[in-house]
Amino acid sequence: MKRLAGRRALVTGAGQGIGRAIALAFAREGADVGIAELDEKKAEDTAEAVRALGRKSPLCVGDVGVREDCERAVATTANLLGGLDILVNAAAWAQVGTPIADTPDDLYRRTFDVCMTSVFWTSRAAYPHLKQSEHASVINFASNAGTEGMAGNAVYAAAKEAIRGFSRSLAREWGRDGIRVNMIRPIAASPSLAGWIEENPKLAAMQAKAIPLGRFGDCDTDVAPVAVFLASDESQYLTAVTLPVDGGGGQER
């Protein structure tokens, strides 16, 4: 029996990186997976890959920084799959290198809307469906930028740390409904990090060496399996925790 057999999931930011890796890992474990993604081509590619694994994959092209798009993604997935058991908020966005004093209001709002407020919008919309499930799991994403701070990326850091407070509160409120809420804090070679590594090979090598396991994580082989664990019954007594999937590289455990 596959670990997620018959379950219904929605993954935001599923067009690339961690989101795509999780969507495919869920499909391999027997879940049908709704795809929420801004880039239409990337969304279609992931949905086709899920379907090639024999699973259903509703497609929701839209902007998670817009409330209506978040609500539409949840409604479309739940309606087409007959319910919702798993919600993964993997979508994120950041503009690195902007000092706090130079950060305009629109950049602040956009960063928070995509990274944090989208989690609020999707979670609120998903709640009526999740509380009907016997295997309800919400998986959100924290960041070392938030737990440790990051110069030139303060708004993203704040949004990511806000997700942790929000998620712990959700876990307390929704535990009585059997809904578990957990977080992953990864260090992984997502497309954005991979681009930075290519542009800064020497600095990247130094940073990878500083990680106890000596490398940046892989979206498919290091991060996605942890999401499968959190979505499965193997973690049925685990909620309100942040799992540092970082090779030991994060300072706060």
Closest by CA to 135, choosing from 230, 56, 36, 226, is: 230
Q: Are 169 and 116 in contact (CB under 8 A)?
A: no
Q: Which residues pair with 88 in a beta bridge?
A: 11, 139
Quote the crossing angle between the two packed helices 17-28 and 40-52, to the nearest 10°.
20
Active-site residue, from 108, 127, 156, 237: 156
Indicate if 108 belongs to the active site: no
Say how far apart CA 192 and CA 94 lie, in whole Å: 10
Q: Are 79 and 103 in contact (CB under 8 A)?
A: no
Say how far apart CA 144 and CA 90 lie, in whole Å: 15
Say how far apart CA 60 and CA 49 lie, in whole Å: 15
Q: How far apart are the first and last CA of the chain?
A: 33
User: Could you give the residue numbers annotated as active site?
Assistant: 156
